[in-house]
Amino acid sequence: MSADEMRRVHYDDLEFDDQLALLGDTAFTGVVYANYPDGRAEIEYYYIDGLPSGIQRQWYRNGQLESEWDAVRGRGSTWSHEWHPNGVMKKERISNGNNLPVCIREWSEDGQLLREEISEWSEDCRLLSETVRE
């Protein structure tokens, strides 16, 4: 089912039981949205069987994308990006299949790389190595 075919429901119409999104007493599948008072998009979240799943987005009031991440059926995110209000990348996080960070980068509002952290994990989730540059 494409995003255009999915049911769209305003955030206020849902109830949440921990992380599970419910419409009435049914786990929700579709797109959850909210807008700022001026009509601009504030959030757009995708849910399957009540759990966040797929690309999730939040915007600043000025219309600039604030954050975007890929939710994996309520188990965290494989990647996420955040932007400063001026549109410059603020933070990037890439995770492995166990939701452990593999790479985290942070930038200033003028685009200067402030921090980079590269991590390597074992299959049993033990940290094997970590490199941090600031």
Query: Residue 12 — left, alpha, or beta (φ > 0 → left; ψ -120 to 50 → alpha)?
Result: alpha
Question: Which domain, by its residues, includes 127?
Answer: 76-134
Q: Which of 30, 58, 86 is the last residue of a domain?
A: 58
Q: What pLDDT was estimated at residue 91?
A: 96
Structural domain includes residue 64: no
Q: Is residue 110 part of a domain?
A: yes
Q: How many residues can be counted in the chain?
A: 134
The total number of structural domains in the chain stands at: 2
Task: Give the pLDDT confidence score for residue 3 in this predicted structure.
Answer: 55
Same domain assignment for residues 88 and 39: no
Q: What whole-number distance in Å separates Cα of residue 42 and Cα of residue 33?
A: 7
In a domain, 32, yes or no: yes
Q: How many CA atoms lie within 13 A of 67 on its CB side?
A: 14
**Does residue 51 have a pLDDT over 70?**
yes
Judgement on whether residues 108 and 134 belong to the same structural domain of the protein: yes
Per-residue pLDDT tens over the stretch 53-98: 999 999 999 999 999 999 887 667 789 999 999 999 999 999 887 7
Q: Check whether residue 54 and residue 84 sit in a common domain.
A: no
| Displacement of CA 105 from its chain's centroid (Å) | 16
- Say what the pTM is: 0.83
- As a whole number, the mean pLDDT across the chain is 90
Q: In this structure, are 95 and 47 located in the same domain? A: no
Q: What pLDDT digit, counting tens, does each position of 15-46 carry?
A: 999 879 999 999 999 999 999 999 999 999 99
- pLDDT higher than 90, residue 124: no
Same domain, 4 and 46: yes
In a domain, 99, yes or no: yes
Q: Is 71 domain-assigned?
A: no
CA angle 121, 116, 124 (to 5 degrees): 10
Q: What is the pLDDT of residue 125?
A: 77
**83 lies in the same domain as 126:** yes
The one-letter code for the residue type at 129 is S
- DSSP string covering the chain: --GGGS-EEEGGG-EEETTEEEETTEE--EEEEEE-TTS-EEEEEEEETTEE-EEEEEE-TTS-EEEEEEE-TTS-EEEEEEE-TTS-EEEEEEE-TTS-EEEEEEE-TTS-EEEEEEEEE-TTS-EEEEEEE-
Give a yes or no: residue 68 inside a domain.
Answer: no
* Residue 18 resides in a domain: yes
Do 89 and 38 share a structural domain? no
Residue 74 has a pLDDT of 61
In a domain, 20, yes or no: yes
pLDDT tens for 93-116 read 998 877 788 899 999 999 999 999
